[in-house]
Amino acid sequence: MNKDKEITTFARRLVNILKLRNEYIRNIRLANFMSDMESAFDIPMLNRDRFNQKYQDVITIYMTASGARST
């Protein structure tokens, strides 16, 4: 799968996760989603400006998921 199509697939998946009403299940799915993104796009553990600039669309989706998780 090419990266653009993969990004679109992740974006759609995130939209579906965010629609979940059950907070517990939503948080579990968001955590799994973020792990899947880290693997698919080799997202670095530390915030790296070069990666963030090169893959802005990936980071935007990833940070949206991160911000949606409740503590």
**For residue range 52-68, what is the model confidence (pLDDT) as tens digits?**
999 999 999 999 999 99
- Which residue in 58, 4, 67, 68 sits closest to 36, CA to CA? 58
Range of the structural domain that residue 28 is part of: 3-68
Tell me how far apart the alpha carbons of residues 65 and 4 are, in angstroms, rounded to a whole number: 18
The DSSP result for 24-64, as a single string, is HHHHHHHHHHHHHHHHHHT--SS--HHHHHHTHHHHHHHHH
Split into its structural domains, the chain has a count of 1
Mean pLDDT of 24-28: 97
Q: What is the mean pLDDT of residues 13-18?
A: 98
Model pLDDT, residue 71:
65
The average confidence (pLDDT) of the chain is 94
Residue 3 near residue 42 (C-beta atoms within 8 A) = no
The model's pTM is 0.89
Q: What percentage of the chain exceeds 90 in pLDDT?
A: 83
